[in-house]
Amino acid sequence: MASGLLGLFGLARASHLRAAVVRANSFKERAADAKHRLEAAQRDTTHWKEQVAEARARVAAATRDVERWKGKDSGHLNELATLREKLERVKQAEQAIALTRAHLLAMETKLDVLEGAITVLDRRTRDRLEDGAGAPDIEASHTTQTS
Amino acid sequence: MSASPFLSLVLTGRNDDYGGGFVSRFFRVLRFNLELLAERQLATEVVLVEWCPTPGRALLAERLRDGLPAHLLDSVVTYVVDGRYQDAMSLNPKLAYLEFVAKNVGVRRATGQYLLTTNTDLILSDAMGRALASGALRPGCVYRANRIDLKLGIDDSTLHHALLDNPANHVPRPPIVPPLYAGAAGDFILLDRETFHKLRGFNELYRMVRIGVDHNFLVKALSSGVPISDIGPPIYHVAHLASYQTSKHLEDPDTAERRWGRAWHNHDVIYDNHEDWGLRDAPVRQLSAGIWKLDFEWRAVPPLVDLHRIVLSGMATSPE
C-alpha cells in the first residue's frame, strides 16, 4: 500500500531505490567488462590479422622460393641430362678410338708383312738378275742359334 | 718308346755354338731334365727340331748320339729341316732363325699327351718334376712357369738341385701375372696336344721376328677361350752371353734384329695359321735311327702374304 501511495507521487521506497542502484551498478560493471572484452577481442583480431598477413607474406615468399628452386632444379636436371649424354658420347668415342687403334695396329702389322714380302721378292729378283736370270738362290747361310 | 708318351719336350737348335758352348750346355741340360722326368716315371719324348743346319758342320742330332746315354737317346727324335725353308719362309732377310716356325714343326709331329715347348737352356726344377707327375694337369689349359735366371758365371758344369734351388744363385725377375702369365713365355708353354693343334701352333704369318711370338701365342690362346695358368714351380735358365736378357742392351741394332727381329704389335694382333702349319706337307725321310729329314719342296711353304689371316685379338688392351 505504502509503495502504491509513494508511487502516486513519483516516489519509491528507499530499499527499492538501493536495489535499483545496485542493479544499475552491476549493469555498468558488466557493460565495462563487456567493453574490455570487446577491446581485447578487437586487439586479438588485429593481432591475428597481422599474423595472417604475415603468414600470407611468408607463404607468398615460400611460393616464390619454390618456383625459383623449381626453375633451378629444372636447370640442374637439364644440365645433368646433358652431362649424361656427353658422357655417353665420350664412352662411344673411347670405344671408337679403341677399335680404330686396334684396326690401325692390324693395318700396321699387315704393312709390316707386305714390306717384308716386297723386300724378300726384291732380294730374290736381284739375286736372279745377278745370277744371269737363273733361279733365285735361297740357300741358307746361318750363324745364330735359338735359346 | 711308347706310341703316346705323357710328355713331349719340343726344342729347336742347331750346331752353331750359339752363345758359346752351346752343345755341351744343351746336352748337360737335356740329360738333367730327362733323368729328372725318368725319376718321376713320366714317359717322355724329346722332339728336337734342327732348323736349317749350319753348312759344313756335323748335325746336332749326330753329336747328340755321342753326348747322351743310349737309354735317354731312345726318347729323342730329331727333325732336321732343310736350310732352304728359312729363306723361303722368312719375311725379314736379316733374321737368321725362325724359331717358332721350327717349334711348330715339332709341335705338329710330337706325339705326347702334353707338349712342353721350351728351350735348350731351360732346366726343370725338382718341384716341376713333381708337378708334372702329380696328375693335376688338365687339358685345355696353357700352363706357364716362372723362370729363375741363374747368375752368369756360376759353376753349372754339374747340375744338381742344391745348386739350382739356392737363392744366392738367382737373379730376380718379375713374377708372371694373370691373365696372360707372360714373360719369357717361349721358355715354358705346356699344353695338351689336341688344344695346341686346335690353336694351330705359334704365329706363322708374321715371319719377321723371334721376340714376342711366344707372347702372341698366349694372346691367341686367351682370345680363343683357352685359359692360362701358373703351374706353380719354377724353371731355371742357364745364363749365357747370347741370352736375350743378357745381350739385348749390348748388341748393335743390326745384330739385335738378326737375332730377334724388331718390336711388333704382338699384344694386339693375332693370327689364324693355315691348316698346313708346321710344314705339314714337307716330305719326310729317315736319315738314321731317331733322325728324320724334312726335304725342301715349295708346296710345303706357306704363301709370303696372307693378310686376311692377320686378325685382331678382340681383347682389351691399353695404349703403350
Q: pLDDT tens digits, chain A, 147 residues: what are they? A: 566 777 788 888 888 889 999 999 999 999 999 999 999 999 999 999 999 999 999 999 999 999 888 888 888 888 899 999 999 999 999 999 999 999 999 999 999 999 999 999 999 999 989 887 655 555 544 444 444
Q: Per-residue pLDDT averaged across B81-105, rounded?
A: 96
Nearest to B54 among A119, A142, A147 (CB): A142
Nearest to A120 among B14, B259, B304 (CB): B304
Statement: residue B162 has pLDDT above 70 = yes
Statement: residue B48 has pLDDT above 60 = yes
Q: Does residue B118 contact residue B88 with C-beta atoms inside 8 Å?
A: no
Cβ contacts from A onto B, under 8 A = 115
Q: Per-residue pLDDT averaged across B277-305, rounded?
A: 97
CATH topology of domain B7-309: Spore Coat Polysaccharide Biosynthesis Protein SpsA; Chain A (3.90.550)
Q: What is the structure's pLDDT at A121?
A: 95
Q: Cβ A120–B91 below 8 Å, yes or no?
A: yes
Q: What is the structure's pLDDT at A126?
A: 93
Q: Cβ B268–A105 below 8 Å, yes or no?
A: yes
Q: Domain ranges for chain A, please list them.
A: 2-146
Q: Min CA distance, A86 vs chain B (Å)? A: 23
pTM given for the model: 0.79
B152 CB within 8 Å of a chain A CB: no
Regarding predicted confidence, which is higher, B130 or A143?
B130
Q: Does residue B107 contact residue B186 with C-beta atoms inside 8 Å?
A: no
Region of poorest pLDDT, from A7-16, A90-99, B56-65, B228-237 = A7-16
Chain A residues whose beta carbon lies within 8 Å of the beta carbon of residue B120: 146-147
Q: Does residue B202 contact residue B256 with C-beta atoms inside 8 Å?
A: no
Q: Cβ B96–A144 below 8 Å, yes or no?
A: yes
Q: What is the structure's pLDDT at B75?
A: 96
State the DSSP string of chain B.
--SS-SEEEEEE--SS-TTSSHHHHHHHHHHHHHHHHHHTT--EEEEEEEESPPTTS--HHHHHHHHS-HHHHTTEEEEEEPTHHHHHH-S-TT----HHHHHHHHHHH--SSEEEE--TTEEE-HHHHHHHHTT---TT-EEE--EEEEPTTS--SS--HHHHH-GGGEE--PPP-TTT--SSGGG-EEEEHHHHHHTTSS--S-TT-STTHHHHHHHHHHHTT--EEE-SS-EEE---TT-HHHHTTTS-HHHHHHHH-----TTTEEE---TTTTTTTS-EEEEETTEEEE---GGGSPPS--GGGEEE--------
- A residues 89..128 contacting B (CB < 8 A): 98, 101-103, 105-106, 108-110, 112-114, 116-117, 119-121, 123
Q: Cβ A142–B207 below 8 Å, yes or no?
A: no
Going by pLDDT thresholds of 50, 70 and 90, the confidence category of residue B58 is very high
β-partners of residue B116 are B9, B190
Q: Domain ranges for chain B, please list them.
A: 7-309
Q: Min CA distance, B144 vs chain A (Å)? A: 18
Closest CA to B266 of A75, A27, A108: A108
CA angle, corner B226, sides to B223 and B232, nearest 5? 120
Q: Min CA distance, B125 vs chain A (Å)? A: 18
Statement: residue B172 has pLDDT above 90 = no
Q: Cβ A144–B18 below 8 Å, yes or no?
A: yes
B184-212 per-position pLDDT tens digit? 999 999 999 999 999 999 999 999 999 99
Supply the mean pLDDT for chain B. Answer: 92
B254-277 per-position pLDDT tens digit? 777 777 888 899 999 999 999 999
Regarding predicted confidence, which is higher, B234 or A71?
B234
Q: What is the structure's pLDDT at B255?
A: 76
